[in-house]
Amino acid sequence: MAVQFTIPSWYVLVPLLLVLIIFWGTKTFIREVYPVRQFVLLLTFTLYSVSVLHLVLFPIEVNIGRFANQTPWLKSINFIPILTIDVKTFLLNILMMIPLGCSLPLLKSTLNRVASIAKSTLCASLALELMQLIIRVTLGNGRSTDINDIIANTLGGVLGFLIYQKLTQAKSVQNLIARYRL
């Protein structure tokens, strides 16, 4: 038996996005848990999160049976940090996570220190890399799991938080953020 097909991102992410929009919309417009401006923050963060999933996980190439990737899954994991770095990918991973570092303090007020942002971003990055690994093992996708991605993602989250801290030193930005923060 041989199975080979591609799962495009919109098959999974569009329904996910719609469910999340309905969820946040219900909490905003029916239950009135969040004001509209916080709905905008949640919606923006949801769009960002779905975009990251699109970039990191999709398209998923399913190759099972005769068409399966013959490389053992363990060899698709890069355990060697820094020495095996691909500079372009490293910089793109940093860039991808800057919005997360900027958003986390708005979404949860206890995330207000570099250490807590680094820990949260590290956990998010580990989750993404584990999802890539699980998809690789179960569906034969050609994606790899890389320690350098985890490092870059964490650095990106911290850099985003440092940008957030710098911006919030301005009084006008503090007032704006106070209105949108959850």
Summarised one tens digit per residue, pLDDT across range 53-82 is 999 999 998 888 776 767 777 777 888 898
Give pLDDT, residue 2.
82
Note whether 147 and 133 are within 8 A (CB). Answer: no
Full-prediction pTM beyond 0.75? yes
Q: How distant, in Å, are the alpha carbons of 37, 101, 117, 126, 178 from that of 112? A: 21, 10, 7, 21, 14
Summarised one tens digit per residue, pLDDT across range 94-136 is 999 999 999 999 999 999 999 999 999 999 999 999 999 999 8
Average pLDDT, rounded, for the chain:
92
If you write DSSP's letter for every residue of 66-105 in order, what string do you get?
TTS--S-GGGGEE--TTTT--HHHHHHHHHHHHHHHHHHH
Give pLDDT, residue 67.
66
Summarised one tens digit per residue, pLDDT across range 33-52 is 999 999 999 999 999 999 99
Percentage of the chain exceeding pLDDT 90: 74
Note whether 80 and 149 are within 8 A (CB). Answer: no
Summarised one tens digit per residue, pLDDT across range 158-182 is 999 999 999 999 999 999 898 888 8
Give pLDDT, residue 144.
84
pLDDT band of 143, cuts 50, 70, 90: confident
